[in-house]
Structure 1
Amino acid sequence: MIRKQFLLNQNSYKKLVFLVLFNLTSFLFYGQVITGTVVDQSNETLIGASVVLKGTTIGTATDFDGNFTLDISKSQVRTLVVSFTGYKTKEVSIGNQKNFIVSLAEDVSTLGEVVVVAIGYGNKKITDLTGSIASVSTKDFQKAPVTNVEGLIANKLPGVQITPTSGKPGAGGSILIRGGSSLSATNDPLIVIDGVPVENSKSGPGILSQLNPNDIESFTVLKDASASAIYGSRASNGVVIITTKKGSSNKFDFSVSSNIRISSVIRKADVLSADQYREVVKQLGTSSTRLGNASTDWQDEIFQQAIAKEHNVSASGSVMSVLPYRASVGFLDQDGVLKTGNYKRVTALLNLSPKFFDDHLKVNVNLKGSFEGEREANEKAIRNATIFDPTQSVFMEDQTYGGYFQYVQFANNPGLAVTNPVSMLKQAKKINQSFRSIGNIQLDYKMHFLPDLHLNVNAGYDVSRSISRNAVDFNYFENDAAGGFIAYKNPDKEVKNLLFESYLFYSKELKSIKSKFDITAGYSFNDFLTTNFSYPSYFANGAINVNSYPPFPFDKPSNAIVSFYGRLNYTINEKYLLTASLRRDGSSRFSKENRWGNFPSVALAWKMK
């Protein structure tokens, strides 16, 4: 008897130890925050080094002391990828370690490379820059599939913060460069795509949502005043220059890619079960509404495993070795983790880059088009799912409210009740569609009589058209008294922005005094026209709401910007650098007395090595 009791206690002890170790391992595995420092071979800290979980977009960048902190609890990946420009990328296994010192070795294979980046109205070697400019290209992008182009550079650029705007399918992220500069106005940077500055037309999930990530060649971010002043008043929050892929005259390339990815809610709100809810009501002794006999997890009813399917086809090459081209088509169909949410995108791109007159004339034609279709799920259903009575079932026999259970005792004033979260998703439909096209033709002519002098002419457009439909069923609980409604706007908004720019660029090397310089002088004209349409609304049965007639069918806000700009870059002995720029902007938004503004900048740099 004593022997059996001893064995029983021994087995219980082993089980207890196992449970403690299991829970401790789970805590370490799923609740881990790691820290560390990234240094070079001389033990000097590296500022802005990228630290990313391998194959994911979860990552961060080192701070001014070379330190990083990363929450890895949302992924089962346990390998870090640490990278920094000019150094070899290093993979580090995490294991149970919480603090790391990662030493990166110089990549000698890149020491002789000349890296050229876009600086706005031209390109320049990165070693000759005075302003703060960061650039990443295809080889540096995130390797995991991303929905929007912002995801390509997540945690890749120091001083650039990308924050998701929402969890909706297709939603992009806001780009913040070196923190916010305004409390009330926008903090969005100026976006320039293949030489065309684009405005946020508020159609579609984001300003960059219309671009296909597979078409992007490089990102360049102008971060400080010296670098961005050439773009004037619109560059107060920095500039993001995006370049799409071009064709090559050397080879033909055909590519087909497809991927399917699944998303799910990893953590739900902790709420009472049906039995716990009944017990609480029993302890309190009363309830303002009658309890039901069901056991419903309302969060399970509104959330789903979301599937995203993406397909891309591209071809690049050259026609008879004289007309390099690249063409692509992409399709994305993404469901949301909140039921009924869906996002579809179709993109098309055609880039032509021929050269004429012994390469004296370079022509770039860039055409991009996109269609976006979005059904927005009612996100208020998430809150209702956490507070709705779990003892009630989703449906009921009474078809008064479409067969969904509702608190009918509040029918005369639905605002006093909590609406069935499933009905909020199924009986309300908000659909947005947008068509957008961005294109330009850019000519760069190197003068025959003076090869150091270039004339660049750029003409472009950015046009879009959006359609919206917002409707709720006549028997929707929240709108029962009003009989539902239909608000259909076709079109909802039309945007037409035009651009014309021309500048001269002259560069010269003066070997006798160990100097070289380049001068840019140009003119820019931007015309912006938006048409906002207004319509009456209808009841769900098709009858017009006579009280909804708008006072006018549309309005057409417009404005124009005229600019003159210049820039000087001067280098002495490959060591001392000077950059000076001036832009004078005139905007029709202001009165004639206050229409013009000057935006100067001067920067000095000294190469210490």
Structure 2
Amino acid sequence: MKRILLLGLLFTSVWLEVMAQQQVTGKVTDSKGEPLPGVNVLVKNTTIGSVTTQDGNYSVSVPPENTILVFSYIGYITQEITLNGRSGIDITLSEDLQSLEEVVVVGYGTVKKSDLTGSVSSISSVELKAIPVATFDQALQGRAAGVQVVQSTGAPGGGTNIRIRGTSSVNASSEPLYVIDGMLINSNSGETSIGGRGPAVNPLATINPSDIESIEVLKDASATAIYGSRAANGVILITTKRGKAGKASVNFESYYGVQTVTKKLDLLNATQFAQLVNEANQNAQLTPVYTNPESFGEGTDWQEELFRQAPIANFQLSLTGGNDKTQYAIGGGFFTQNGIVEGSDLDRYSFRTNLNTDVNEKLKVGVNLSYNRTINNGVLTGPGPVVQGVVYNALLFNPILPVYDPLRPGGYTFQHDRRDAIANPVAEAKEYISTTTTSRLLGTVFAEYEIVEGLSLRSSFGIDGLSTKSNSFGPNFLKRTENSKGEAGVSTLEALTWLNTNTLTYNKEINQDHTINALLGFEMQQFRNESVNSYAFGFPESRTGWHDIGSADNPQTTTNGELEWSILSYFGRINYSLKNKYLFTLTGRADGSSKFAEGNKYGFFPSAAFAWRVSEEEFMKSNNFINDLKFRASYGVTGNQAIPPYGSLALIGQIGQGVFSTSSGSEAFRGREPVSYPNRNLKWETTKQANIGVDLSVLEGRLGATVEVYHKNTEDLLLGTPIPYTSGFETTLLNIGNVQNRGIDIALNSVNIDGNIRWTTSVNVSVNRNKITNLAREEDINLGIGGNILREGEPIGTFFGYVFDGIYQTDDEAKNSPVIAGQNPSAGDRRYKDISGPNGMPDGVINDFDRTIIGSAQPDFTWGVNNTLTFKGITLSFFFQGSQGNEMVNQNLGDLANVNGRQNVLASAGLGRWTPQNPNNTYARALYTANDNVFSSRFVEDASYLRLKNLTLGYNFPASLLEKIKLSNARIYVSGTNLWTLTDYSGYDPEGNAYGGTTNIVGVDFGGYPQAKTYTVGLNLGF
């Protein structure tokens, strides 16, 4: 009886609560009066809500109190409406495409987008999350006009090359400055990557992309000059996620995917290779090697053995919330990526907390703190110090040989039997262990005090602590350790950057016509690292690996190093707005750097900008077509000090061991000598940049455009320059030479369809022309790799060599043609053009006079196009990205198209080789003694490409369902990355660059790690 009574009371209370709720109905329309389906209607701070129907109607049951309804829809401004007892509410949502009130992060502050005078591109967290990547810099590709991102390696955690408006330097870094929550971080791989034998780790791989809320790219001098001596290559500002006042929310984000190699090169199989070897020997009057080539069949596919399907996964959990005084965001994540090449992978553990609180009406304090730990296992790719990388070896290895040989130590086939330098790639990848572990603590604490209304003082202190350890071990049965008899290495690096920033900001509005924002700042930064490298050779057995390096038979000398630099800065900025139409910005920064010589340590970097908001003029008020029109112009000077410290000093180094004879016998000694020539006049590189831009929005924001034209001149290049031998040195670092970059940036966005189906498009196109305008010398600088030269009047990345002119078809043709000295060609050999002699005319001889410019790595233009379609809760996005007009040196062809029978080759070269019956004009004849690797235009290929970078299909679950399962949001999606590439380039990847870390050697593919094609499925949940 008691149970029945209790059930009855419970039922009655629930019924009374339901009856007390109010039913609210209404309709949601856009600015044209058209109904908006799929609009989320939620009771604020609850999970109660519904979604509008096809006709824009909604109905929701709400509590009887003064309830607030929140109306939200992608692309429209969210509205909050207090009911005040009303049972019917019709509202109109305004489009949020123009976003003129959007706040944009700039150097040491923020500004409304409408008030920008400089060139700034913004990338949101939504765009960053579109592609599953290990590092945020990879996700920037194709997202912003004027920003060229080349992912030169597909290795887990591998870095990118980012060029903002071209390459401005030759010897110094051309990478942008990164600023995370106000902390200027050191991404210089020469100072933050370990010098051991572990994998080359991208310093940016320690930053969790899931922590990022938005990225702003500062491009012109007006935007970057506030960072002075480090802003010549542009600035990338990163803002991490913050908490918001309101109910605490928990969000879980995850995805899991599978990676595969995007492309395999078509090589000869075992039978075809054996036939080639026999023919190459016969043409060289040697005995054929294989008696029955057909018996080998397909043989070993070394690419198939080396490449694998590899998983990639990410898990992120975050908690955000707060009240009017305190807001917090706490998050942790785990990312793991196995490489598509055996033996390579990356794991990252990350934690971040951001906290802001108003202590009182005057004082605000906060902290941004992150800890990330990465563990990277790598393999040798590209040209190696002892043997070539594993990818390159897989291409060249004899397909007749098996991967495993149980009779050999270690159980692997040792090496290629036709060419000693080619190691078993599978053995090298699996058995040579190379691990780098990096921990990074990055954070800032700040306090901001409002002295009087409009005047505030902010002081912050930040640290960037990096600890890296690299362990490597190669057992004695590998080709790579053949000479060392087994080797191990242990290397450590500790690096610490601290930064103190103090700013005084003044905001004042006078008579609604004049607005002033002024900033004064003082900043100090110091960097220091210490490294220790220990190696040992001779390990009779492999069980202890690097864990017992002291047991080696042949320990090597331990080395260590230290590095330190500091910068002291004063800066200021004034923004003045007259009637919200005429905008002026003046910026200046004085930097003093320890890297430069006495008397040249300080540099001053000013800029000025003006913008005219034409759309605010009276004569434009009656215009219903143009919503916003603004013209901008700026000019300024920025600097580059990204060189190693001590360049202005005479350094002393060890010269080895000698012996003194004394009365008591002999005594060993180690000597010292100067190792660098001091330059007492060393100073900054300076870049002067002019920028003119126009921002336009029409048709109520349905079409927007930004077009900018810029001109950059970099002077006083920091360039290694030959000096007289009487100095005792060959070169020294001097300030000589100029580089010019000119170009156009175009960004377009549009709403193509705006109804039940919504289709938006964003397009960006970048055109840049790079040219060395002064080298302070008459002769070219031959960089010695991939035909790269530096020549006055030509761009960085210019290729120089002979012009390939086909194949000699007869012996008489070869005998009567100009040839390179020392060569005696016959029918089927390569031919080169006789272009010029000492007098400028062809002279019948092929020599250095016949070498000419044969290509450039600089593209005509780069671009990106992103389309997003939504229908109710379904979203489909597809992102294309590409480059046009750039060329690539396919250095791999030196072996892969050399049909001498000593290594495997491309099927097109091996099967299409010249014979009297196949008199082609592309591939030479098979000849064992052939080693014609004369650098010529046959190595240079068109590397233009069009790539479907990402395709994503997602579904957002409706609010009615979410309410039942007590979720605030839920999304599931499937995604594909690098799904399709259209290119004429014959290598793995038209982006591949074996020397991606350098500034002046670009566009050379030599056995690099290919990019992967990735398929993922993801789930996002909000509580």
- TM beyond 0.5: yes
Counterpart-to-counterpart distance in 1, 2:446 and 2:590: 23
What is the CA–CA distance in structure 1 between the aligned matches of 2:583 and 2:510, rounded to whole Å?
15
1:568-607 matches, within 5 Å, as: 568-607=574-613
Q: Could you tell me how far 1:183 is from its partner in structure 2?
A: 2.0
Aligned in 2, Cα 1:389/1:287: closer, same or farther, shift over 3 Å? farther
Q: What is the DSSP-based 3-state SS (H/G/I as helix, E as strand, rest coil) of the residue aligned with 1:592?
A: coil
Larger Rg: 2
Q: Deviations over 1:462-498 (max 9, x none)?
A: 0011000122111213323421111112xx1100111
Shift of 1:282: 4.4
Which of these residues, 193, 196, 202, is aligned with residue 202 of structure 1?
193
Which of 225, 242, 246 in structure 1 is aligned with 2:242?
Answer: 246
The letter of the residue matching 2:256 is I
Residue aligning to 2:304:
300
Q: Decide whether the 8 Å contact of 1:373 with 1:433 is kept in 2.
A: yes
Q: Say whether 1:276 aligns with 2:272.
A: yes
What is residue 153 of structure 2 aligned with on the other side? 166
Shift of residue 283, structure 1, vs aligned partner:
4.2
1:165–1:172 CA contact under 8 A, matched in 2: yes
Partner of 2:699: none
Q: RMSD across aligned C-alpha pairs, in angstroms?
A: 2.4
Q: Is the 8 A contact 1:368 1:438 kept in 2?
A: yes
2:193 aligns to what SS in structure 1? coil
SS at match of 2:536: coil
Does 1 or 2 have the higher relative contact order (CA < 8 Å, sep 6+)?
Answer: 2
Match of 2:172 in 1: 185
Instruction: Give the Cα–Cα distance (whole angstroms) in 2 for the partners of residues 460 and 417 of structure 1.
Output: 49
Distance 1:283 1:548 in 2: 47
Q: What is aligned with 1:396? A: 405
One-letter identity of the residue aligned with 1:342 = D
Deviation for aligned residue 1:564: 0.6
- Structure 2 SS opposite 1:477: coil
Q: Is the 8 A contact 2:271 2:296 kept in 1?
A: no
Three-state SS of the structure 2 residue aligned to 1:603 is strand
Say whether the 8 Å CA contact 1:215–1:245 is kept in structure 2: yes
2:663 maps to what in 1?
Answer: none
Distance 1:226 1:136 in 2: 20
Kindly indicate whether the alpha-carbon contact (under 8 Å) linking 2:415 and 2:479 is maintained by their aligned counterparts in 1. no
Which amino acid is 1:559 matched to? Answer: W
* Superposition deviation, residue 249 in structure 1: 2.4
Quote the offset at 1:321 in angstroms. Answer: 6.5
* Deviation (angstroms), 1:322: 4.5
Deviations 1:252-289 (A, max 9, x none): 11122221111111321111111222333444554568
Paired residue type of 2:448: D
What is the rounded CA distance, in whole Å, between the counterparts of 1:140 and 1:277 in structure 2? 47
Secondary structure at 1:259 match in 2:
strand
- Equivalent residue number for residue 310 of structure 1: 314
Partners of 1:575 and 1:509 lie apart in 2 by 14
Query: For structure 1, which runs of at least 5 residues remain unmatched after alignment?
Result: 1-85, 89-106
Q: Secondary structure at the match of 2:206?
A: coil
User: What per-residue deviation string (whole Å, max 9, x for no partner) do you get for residues 419-468 of structure 1?
Assistant: 22211212211111111110111222222xx2110101111100011000
User: Which residue is 1:233 aligned to?
Assistant: 229
User: Counterparts of 1:129-528 in structure 2 under 5 Å?
Assistant: 129-200=116-187, 201-202=192-193, 205-284=201-280, 285=282, 286=287, 293=296, 295-318=299-322, 322-358=325-361, 360-379=362-381, 380-400=389-409, 402-407=410-415, 416-447=420-451, 450-489=452-491, 492-511=492-511, 514-528=513-527
CA distance in 1, matches of 2:415, 2:141: 46
Q: Is the contact between residue 378 and residue 428 of structure 1 (CA under 8 Å) also seen in structure 2?
A: no
Structure 1's 571 and 287: CA in aligned 2 closer, same or farther, altered over 3 A?
A: farther
The verdict on how the C-alpha distance between 1:373 and 1:111 changes in structure 2, with shifts beyond 3 A counting, is: closer
Distance 1:266 1:252 in 2: 43
Deviations 1:80-131 (A, max 9, x none): xxxxxx999xxxxxxxxxxxxxxxxxx8444475111111111111111111
Comparing 591-600 with 296-305, greater Cα deviation is found at 591-600
Change (3 A) 1:287 1:498: farther
Structure 1 residues 156 and 570, CA, compared in 2 at 3 Å: closer, same or farther?
same
Between the aligned partners of 1:184 and 1:112, the Cα distance in structure 2 is 41
In the alignment, the residues of structure 1 paired with residue 288 and residue 369 of structure 2 have an alpha-carbon distance, to the nearest angstrom, of 63
Q: 1:123 to 1:545 in 2, by over 3 A?
A: farther
Distance in structure 2 (CA, Å) of the matches to 1:289 and 1:389: 13
* TM-score, scaled to structure 2: 0.46
Are the structure 2 counterparts of residues 362 and 389 from structure 1 closer, same or farther at C-alpha, using a change threshold of 3 Å?
same
> 1:324: how far off?
1.9
- Percentage of identical aligned residues: 31
The 3-state SS of whatever aligns with 1:422 is helix
CA distance, structure 1, for counterparts of residue 313 and residue 99 of structure 2 = 42
Could you tell me how far apart the structure 1 residues matched to 2:234 and 2:411 are?
53
Secondary structure, in 3 states, of the residue corresponding to 1:425? helix
Give the letter aligned to residue 215 of structure 1. D
Question: Could you tell me which amino acid in structure 2 is paired with residue 581 of structure 1?
Answer: T
Deviation string for 1:565-603 (max 9, x for gaps)? 111111112111111111111112223311111111111
The code of the aligned residue for 1:388 comes to F
Q: 1:407–1:249: structure 2 CA closer, same or farther, 3 Å change rule?
A: closer
Amino acid of the structure 2 residue aligned with 1:451: E
User: 1:391 offset after TM fit, Å?
Assistant: 1.3
**Aligned partners of 1:190, 1:114: CA distance in 2, in Å?**
27
* Partner deviation per Cα, 1:542-577 (whole Å, 9 max, x = no partner): 534656213xx5332211111011111111121111
Match of 1:554 in 2: 560
157-166 or 492-501: bigger deviation:
157-166
Cα distance between partner residues in 2 of 1:112 and 1:271:
54
Whether the 8 Å contact between 1:508 and 1:517 is mirrored in structure 2 is yes
Instruction: Check conservation: 2:414, 2:478, Cα contact below 8 A.
Output: no
Q: Which amino acid aligns with 2:574?
A: L
Considering fraction of residues, name the structure with more helix: 1
Checking the alignment, whether the CA contact within 8 Å between 1:536 and 1:545 is kept in structure 2 is no
Q: In structure 1, what is the Cα distance between the partners aligned to 2:119 and 2:263?
A: 40
Judge conservation of contact 1:488–1:537 (CA < 8 Å) in 2.
no
Cα contact 2:122–2:216 (8 A) shared by 1: yes
- Residues 535 and 396 of structure 1, relative CA distance in 2, 3 Å threshold: closer
Is the deviation greater in 285-294 or in 205-214? 285-294
Residue 533 of structure 1 deviates from its aligned partner by 1.5
Counterpart contact for 2:437–2:468, Cα < 8 Å: yes
SS where residue 429 of structure 2 aligns?
helix
For residue 557 of structure 1, give the secondary structure of its aligned residue in structure 2.
Answer: strand
Give the match for residue 564 of structure 1. Answer: 570
Specify the SS of the correspondent of 1:432.
strand
Against the structure 1 CA distance between its residues 322 and 507, is the aligned structure 2 distance closer, same or farther, given a 3 Å change threshold? closer
Separation in 1, partners of 2:404, 2:604: 65
Q: Would the aligned equivalents of 1:217 and 1:245 in 2 still touch at CA under 8 Å? A: yes
For the Cα contact (< 8 Å) 2:390–2:425, is it kept in 1? yes
SS at match of 1:155: coil
Q: Tell me by how many angstroms 1:194 deviates.
A: 0.5
One-letter amino acid of the structure 2 residue matched with residue 383 of structure 1: Y
